[in-house]
């Protein structure tokens, strides 16, 4: 089966892969959750525009690649919700609200700068940069966590929530493949979680880094799989309701 990264591999890369033992898959484990990483306004803007147009108002935009992925993410979310598989949403923590600068603020990165045009309008857009977009919006009761680092694990209660729900598998959607998705996948693998990256549901503003990072994650830290496979899994899975009111069988805290 052709993969998105094939066109970027050298002859030596291909020879080494052919000579290596077949990769053993991590698989889906016993209980899965979907993690939605950074599907916020700052990376797609308010309208579907090609990358070079989108970045004029939204410097951190991913262009049409982001919108295409969001269309697939809607399908993924529908399958997860129908199966009773929880969805955990991750977005950024605004420095204006917390006093904590984001990890990239020291470098003047795209997401921390205003776009072109009227300064008032640019400031208004900037204030909405971490608003989760409608296409990936959480439903009431779904967990929403905010982070100031690339990884969804560092400095958040994500791991505690997964432990509480008995989750051993994370199905990953969002952006960027070469940044926050990869950081989260590596940390998740380090915590011995099964990481499933849905190829059509993860996106980046650059094609080559997206492809090569998907290749590298598939080689080492995760299973990078097509959306159709994940939907088949969700259609077949039976989820045991979590004892949310009495975690771990205990009726009271303290």
Among residues 54, 90, 133, 180, which one is catalytic?
180
The count of C-alpha atoms lying within 13 angstroms of the C-alpha of 30, restricted to the half-sphere facing its C-beta, is: 7
Q: How far apart are CA 74 and CA 80, in angstroms?
A: 10
Is 180 marked active-site? yes
Q: How far apart are CA 197 and CA 180, in angstroms?
A: 13
Q: How far apart are CA 205 and CA 43, in angstroms?
A: 9
Tokens for 36? 């939605």
Which residues, 6+ apart, have CB-to-CB distance to 169 below 8 Å? 27, 28, 29, 30, 31, 32, 33, 193, 194, 195, 196
Q: How far apart are CA 216 and CA 177, in angstroms?
A: 11
**Over the range 139-174, which residues count as b (16 or more CB within 10 Å of their CB) and which as e?**
eeeebebbbbbbbbbeebebbeebeebebbbbbbbb
With residues binned 3-state (H G I as helix, E B as strand, rest as coil), the percentages for the chain, rounded to 5, are 45, 15, 40
Which residues, 6+ apart, have CB-to-CB distance to 46 below 8 Å? 125
Q: Which residues are catalytic?
A: 180
């Amino acid at each position: 089966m052709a993969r998105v990264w094939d066109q970027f591999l050298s002859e030596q890369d291909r020879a080494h892969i052919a000579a290596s033992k077949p990769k053993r898959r991590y698989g889906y484990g016993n209980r899965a959750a979907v993690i939605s990483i950074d599907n916020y306004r700052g990376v797609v803007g308010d309208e579907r525009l090609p990358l070079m147009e989108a970045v004029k108002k939204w410097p951190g935009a991913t262009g049409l690649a982001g919108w295409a992925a969001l269309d697939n993410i809607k399908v993924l979310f529908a399958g997860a919700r129908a199966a009773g598989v929880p969805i955990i949403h991750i977005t950024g923590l605004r420095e204006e609200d917390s006093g904590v600068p984001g990890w990239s603020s020291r470098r003047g990165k795209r997401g921390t700068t205003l776009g072109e045009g009227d300064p008032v309008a640019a400031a208004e857009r900037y204030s909405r940069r971490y608003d989760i977009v409608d296409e990936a919006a959480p439903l009431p009761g779904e967990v929403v966590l905010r982070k100031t680092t690339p990884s969804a694990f560092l400095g958040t209660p994500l791991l505690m929530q997964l432990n509480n729900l008995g989750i051993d598998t994370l199905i990953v959607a969002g952006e960027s493949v070469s940044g926050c998705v990869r950081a989260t996948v590596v940390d998740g693998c380090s915590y011995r979680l099964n990481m499933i990256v849905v190829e059509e549901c993860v996106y980046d503003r650059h094609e080559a880094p997206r492809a090569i990072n998907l290749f590298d994650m598939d080689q080492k830290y995760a299973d990078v799989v097509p959306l159709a496979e994940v939907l088949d899994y969700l259609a077949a899975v039976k989820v045991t309701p979590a004892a949310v009111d009495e975690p771990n069988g205990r009726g009271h805290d303290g």
